[in-house]
Structure 1
């Protein structure tokens, strides 16, 4: 292991400790973002470099010294700027938040209505209605702070709904992210002690690892047209995986592939600039344009999905229905190289802290805004997501939330 690898692990450890300590005190979303990034950009690659098991495609394409010489400084600077520049947020107690719970059921029903409408709406409105449909989870989060036990049960029912829909689709990303955000809000209400936090986090880690081992087998069944009881199928598959005491090389390889985003970044570092010249900001300009202009004003703007940029800058082929992102840090290198990429990550960290500080300022007069933070950061916390997806979601979600507050206060006369 190189000295830079050790520095990366130390930085990740500091972030994880900060995330742990902030649970119950605030909403440590920036810490969560950095922790996910560190796990996928630093820890996953270190495990891959140290392991004798190697996937034929998902492996590290450049030596550890080369990879860490860019990724670790970029990650350290990104983390330092994002954490040190941002202001602490949310000193509200339960009484401050509970007075807004009366709007929770209305927002929940509004989100359900948007979800139903999205199934019949034209494609041009799909993303807008998707954002509105997420209001059902925001409404359920508000109900956690209700004085009514029955209304608080809707908060837990929302988690159950997410879990069931994830099983039926064999896609667990949304469930895991919303569950994490919900845990932050739950901790803000109940302020668990150190032991309870450790227990919940360890239980969550065991569940996620178990889910990852069972996910491939579940998808193989469901995506091939399984018509039986999918809930029972999930627990049968999970039981089989947990009963299997032979944790072989294939399973170890599969787990680290899901953790390790570094193989994509390393593929970019191998491909650029030897085979493909630096983009010199081209994908960044595309991302900014795509986020600011609606499609009817820019019909040729970049689409989400990442296929085109991924294949261009990694030199790897993707199947027709497969989408993968380069990640922000991979895109930074593809555009500007090592030094320029590190500077770009500094700018990105600064941008996130400024955005966060603006939310803090607004939340002082509108505390209910904190319940919308999971929606605003839904794509931002994903370490594998490319810039066009992140910016497009941030900008559009910010507009939708701003319009909601305007309509709620001015038209519906809500006291929020």
Structure 2
């Protein structure tokens, strides 16, 4: 039933060793924080062991939710809240918080893996190599179309601009085709694709996109090169260090580029680094507390737990209806639907007033609680994980006819797997992007269809125990 969680390669000795180290470093840690940290560590270790076998969308989704709802809140309860700005502190006790957040996270993970068998994440590499050999220019066409539409999207309104933005992600599918399908790497087109996301990140100060795409890019490279565990460990340490630096710097960088109007470039990033150094450095407690909120979506949930139902009644599905309406219906059919980044729900259900340039959303776990309470919220989180799971299974079904479609999975999921994304925005991205992919592959089926010679199922077998 949950083979992709239980019957896979995993070093339980290392996991137990990490648990012992946590107890030695923090002997007075509460059972709640200890369990929360272990769940998060387990999810990240699953990503580590899955690299070189699959594109681990399910494991990444579980790890991201654990990071924001379990690991970040644990750091806050373990002492960082004492140096935190009062509005960003956890607003309820850890018992009250984790008694909902832990089972809700587990339910989401179980929904992701319910009879999944890693479907939608297994790449038929030989079929892709054959396809690229037969269609050598298609990857370059995807890259050109993607880069052009990424640039064009900024010149249009939210409707057409969003469609162009989705088409812009085709450049990553083109890059993945070159990585897996080409006999030798093509540095120039790959530099164009990866450089575009770095440039976009610096200009828009949206670092989540960079980190998420970097993980997917490394996963595809791992499929090609099958790195040893020590190589994966080196990259993992480098990635964690890089993300830590970004988390420390991005608040100052956003202030410089958005509030102060500086150019979004390397110089502004360097200025942010200098500002961080003058304020005490990376490991100064106030800095750690300030930036822990970037991986702590849980503090918003605590505001919701304090606010609902004591000041605002449970929505009983009404708020969820607004979310689903925004996610599934075009604006022509629902002219009054929620906008992406709508701030009214945050104030209504969390009691948080947001400034003009502040981006904040309730998140799926808070939305689940607002509509159905604690028990119903856990059931909803299972259903959300199951929806992601079924979407991946659909990609797997399509992949039997169009093997390259699996390389479009990151394009559909890189946004909705982020827990800090508004639920209506994440679901809307997944639904519209999946529909766009279906239209492209259905209309041009004669181009994408591949007659499979043999699909040797090496990936799930090698990843399984």
User: TM-score by structure 1 length?
Assistant: 0.92
**Is 2:351 the counterpart of 1:303?**
no
CA RMSD of the aligned region, Å? Answer: 2.2
Q: Distance in 2 between matches of 1:74 and 1:327?
A: 13
Match in the other structure for 1:340: 376
**Is 2:100 the counterpart of 1:70?**
yes
The 3 A distance-change label for structure 1 pair 283 and 67 is same
Which of 71, 78, 88 aligns to 1:50? It is 78
Which of 124, 139, 146 aligns to 2:159? It is 124
Check the 8 A contact 2:316/2:371 in 1, yes or no.
Answer: yes
Which of 87, 93, 99 aligns to 2:130? It is 99
Which of 182, 186, 198 aligns to 2:217? It is 182
**Is 2:150 the counterpart of 1:134?**
no
Equivalent positions of 1:5-404 (< 5 A) are: 5-51=33-79, 52-89=82-119, 90-92=121-123, 94-101=125-132, 102=136, 103-147=138-182, 149=184, 151-223=186-258, 224-227=260-263, 230-235=265-270, 237-238=272-273, 241=276, 245=281, 247-404=283-440
Number of positions where the alignment pairs a residue of Structure 1 with one of Structure 2: 413
Check the 8 A contact 2:201/2:207 in 1, yes or no.
Answer: yes
Q: Distance in 2 between matches of 1:344 and 1:414?
A: 36
Check the 8 A contact 1:307/1:322 in 2, yes or no.
Answer: no
Q: Distance in 2 between matches of 1:122 and 1:381?
A: 25
Shift of 1:146: 4.3
Check the 8 A contact 2:402/2:448 in 1, yes or no.
Answer: no
SS in 2 for 1:350: helix
Q: 5+ residue gaps in structure 2?
A: 1-28, 451-465
The 3 A distance-change label for structure 1 pair 6 and 233 is closer
Per-residue deviation, residues 310-332 of structure 1 (Å, max 9, x unmatched): 11100111113333111111111
Check the 8 A contact 2:180/2:224 in 1, yes or no.
Answer: yes
Per-residue deviation, residues 255-286 of structure 1 (Å, max 9, x unmatched): 21111111000100000000000011112111
Q: Distance in 1 between matches of 2:115 and 2:45?
A: 18
Shift of 1:366: 1.4
Q: Distance in 2 between matches of 1:36 and 1:122?
A: 30
Check the 8 A contact 1:271/1:315 in 2, yes or no.
Answer: yes
Shift of 1:239: 6.3
Q: Distance in 2 between matches of 1:342 and 1:287?
A: 18
SS in 1 for 2:310: coil
Match in the other structure for 2:463: none
Q: 5+ residue gaps in structure 1?
A: none
Shift of 1:202: 0.5
SS in 1 for 2:89: coil
Check the 8 A contact 1:271/1:313 in 2, yes or no.
Answer: yes
Q: Distance in 2 between matches of 1:242 and 1:106?
A: 44
The 3 A distance-change label for structure 1 pair 319 and 337 is same
User: TM-score by structure 2 length?
Assistant: 0.83
Check the 8 A contact 1:39/1:259 in 2, yes or no.
Answer: yes
The 3 A distance-change label for structure 1 pair 220 and 194 is same
Per-residue deviation, residues 31-66 of structure 1 (Å, max 9, x unmatched): 101101101101111111111322211110001111
Check the 8 A contact 2:253/2:268 in 1, yes or no.
Answer: yes
Per-residue deviation, residues 179-213 of structure 1 (Å, max 9, x unmatched): 11111111111111100001001001111111222
SS in 2 for 1:85: coil
